Structure 1
């Protein structure tokens, strides 16, 4: 197994979970197998099933929120936890098994050259595909945000992404809970605040439990709401980043 670089030696895996009792145990076990150098925090986002109990039984540390805040709220809680405990990096991994834990080290290694590294699904690796309005929205968002970042990005809506301490502290000031806030909105504000962004190709798998939300109607709604999310992100106040010592 490849060892993580010194830069990312102390990293926290943040796994937001809402009613994922079916998928989360196997996901946790896979993460622990393929990323043993990292600590794992499951953020139980107000689940009404046994997500918290099965996550603890699988060996994860669990932070429970009193009610459902969405991915943005769960990740913000995870980043605050990472900041308070002094982690040098944090990475989001979905609890439904879609993110391949074997790619965690690769995404974290991207932080050697940037503040944020995205695990990209459309970067000449894997077989993940989208069509119709959802594809158009993703391509449009990637084009606009690539121009802002001054680097080619192909998958700006991917939740499989890592952040160093500089980016984590920026997230504490601004990590929205609105629709697409945890991906598009947070990324735009981070870029406008001075964070450097890169991406690495990753595999995307079929979710291990629950019901996928894709259908033509929802894809059309996704197109409209993603455009609105981008407009809102461009009006957000940017953060003032400070240089970290050490």
Structure 2
């Protein structure tokens, strides 16, 4: 699927990166080749390697954080940059190569009828699978968040997503930085703020390099952490999500 140059020119690709020197350069080059004219912002989230230098050499803009904030903190930097520099849309793309930039046009096209579009890994594309506690948690959260957002969601923790102008403005101020908040809580914030959420199927690829953020020893903790993220999302007053508030 092709995408118009006017749309890519209004879209900022944000890539959070933590110690991704092995993969980030090739990912940036692939994005720029696949989506000509798109601006790529790599947010170096306190890396201890050459992530920033490799990303710049590949042609990306780079924001370097002094210490590790997590994906949510890095993405808030990206949303604020987009808002302050006149970008209408933000697409989050992993810096490890798992997200295929060929799927970005479909995400952007879906923004015609939505404010936030999820790239769902379990909606008919590819063969990506998870097992154990993470699988159970994902099914529970998909059920809860489908009701909250009034649309069917199958992959509420996907980081491959596109945000339109209303979502960019909201997330520049209120994107959650807590662990898993950038996925689960962000959906609650969006739905409670009246944003329209959709999902489309996407395929995932193996990591191109670096170290996975999850390993089998951490899998057991996933359910508890994700549950806490969901609880915090619902107990926070709805009023704090109004754009322009001081919260």
**Residues 162-201 of structure 1 aligned to structure 2 (within 5 Å):** 162-201=162-201
Task: Please name the residue that 1:30 is paired with.
Answer: 30
- 2:28·2:55 contact (CA, 8 Å) conserved in 1? yes
Q: How many residues align?
A: 242
Query: In structure 2, what is the Cα distance between the partners aligned to 1:74 and 1:142?
Result: 24
Query: In structure 1, what is the Cα distance between the partners aligned to 2:8 and 2:41?
Result: 17
Query: In structure 2, what is the Cα distance between the partners aligned to 1:178 and 1:3?
Result: 33
**Residues 110-129 of structure 1 aligned to structure 2 (within 5 Å):** 110-129=110-129
Structure 1 segments unaligned to the other structure (5+ residues): none
Query: In structure 1, what is the Cα distance between the partners aligned to 2:162 and 2:155?
Result: 14
Structure 2 segments unaligned to the other structure (5+ residues): none
What RMSD in Å do the two structures reach over aligned CA positions?
1.7
Query: In structure 2, what is the Cα distance between the partners aligned to 1:13 and 1:142?
Result: 26
Report the Cα offset of residue 217 of structure 1.
3.7
TM-score by length of 2: 0.93
Aligned in 2, Cα 1:138/1:5: closer, same or farther, shift over 3 Å? farther
Query: In structure 1, what is the Cα distance between the partners aligned to 2:138 and 2:37?
Result: 33
Aligned in 2, Cα 1:214/1:17: closer, same or farther, shift over 3 Å? closer
Task: Please name the residue that 1:109 is paired with.
Answer: 109
Query: In structure 2, what is the Cα distance between the partners aligned to 1:117 and 1:159?
Result: 11
Show CA shifts across 1:125-178 (max 9, x none). 100001111100011111000001111011010001111111111112311111
Task: Please name the residue that 1:206 is paired with.
Answer: 206
Query: In structure 2, what is the Cα distance between the partners aligned to 1:220 and 1:5?
Result: 44
Aligned in 2, Cα 1:3/1:215: closer, same or farther, shift over 3 Å? closer
TM-score by length of 1: 0.93
Report the Cα offset of residue 237 of structure 1.
2.9
Secondary structure at the counterpart of residue 223 of structure 1: helix
Task: Please name the residue that 1:55 is paired with.
Answer: 55
